[in-house]
Amino acid sequence: MSWLGPLLLILIASPLLMFVAHAIAFRLLDRAAAKPTAHSSAFVALLCAFVPVAAAAWFLDVSLCGFAYLAAVYAGMAILYVDVVNIAETSLHMHLLLELAWSGGVNLDDLLDRYSAERMIAARLERLTSIGQVRVADGRCYIANRSTLHFARALDVWRTILGLPTQPPDVADGHGAAAAPRPM
């Protein structure tokens, strides 16, 4: 068990390693013209950062049980890291606050124009096409990859089991109440 202390230090250092690996991964993918997103580069970074973590565990001669613990804790931290990236990338609340902080204030009309429904949809479509989920042809949008839809259906099943709604409250049955869960 002489490896327990160093193993905990490795886990404590892992978030910083994830961050540094993410910075490097994004820049390298960008230079390679891979058109990285914050999410895609985070996934690459998290996988790459696990290599030295696992190598350090191997070097410390960590037991199989210790390695399983290391992998589970690392995976949990990786999920949290992706959650932070997701909030920073997709949160309108975060974008507005950061834009106001960076600029020292923005004209209200400019802000309303910048965050109009048309621009928001265009930004989401650009993101979805860049990651291969949607394709646009002849002025129409089509689903290009159903993987996220399969995941969404699995989340719907999970939400149904928990008794949570599977649609937002504004998708209503005409009376303002949430619609019944969709059949699978």
The β-bridge partners of 172 are 178
Residue 132 lies in a domain: yes
pLDDT digits (tens, 9 = 90+) for 5-19: 888 899 999 999 999
> How many CB atoms lie under 10 A from the CB of residue 24?
15
| The last residue of a domain, from among 90, 125, 151 | 90
Quick check: 21 and 49 in contact, CB under 8 A?
Answer: yes
Question: Which band of pLDDT confidence, cut at 50, 70 and 90, is reported for residue 173?
Answer: low
Q: Give me 36's structure tokens.
A: 């990285």
Angle at CA of residue 165, ends 163 and 167, nearest 5°: 160
Count of domains for the chain: 2
Same domain, 11 and 82: yes
Q: At which residue do the structure tokens 């209200």 appear? A: 108
pLDDT digits (tens, 9 = 90+) for 120-153: 888 889 888 888 889 999 989 999 888 888 888 8
Residue 9 lies in a domain: yes
pLDDT digits (tens, 9 = 90+) for 21-79: 999 999 999 999 988 888 889 999 999 999 999 999 999 888 899 899 999 999 999 99
What does the pLDDT read at residue 117? 86
Please give the residue range of the domain that contains residue 117. Answer: 94-143
Kindly report whether the global pTM for this prediction surpasses the value 0.85.
no
What does the pLDDT read at residue 124? 85
- Name which of 19, 17, 144 is nearest 88 in CA terms: 19
Q: Give me 162's structure tokens.
A: 């928990």
d(C-alpha 44, C-alpha 68), whole Å: 21
Residue 150 lies in a domain: no
d(C-alpha 29, C-alpha 178), whole Å: 43
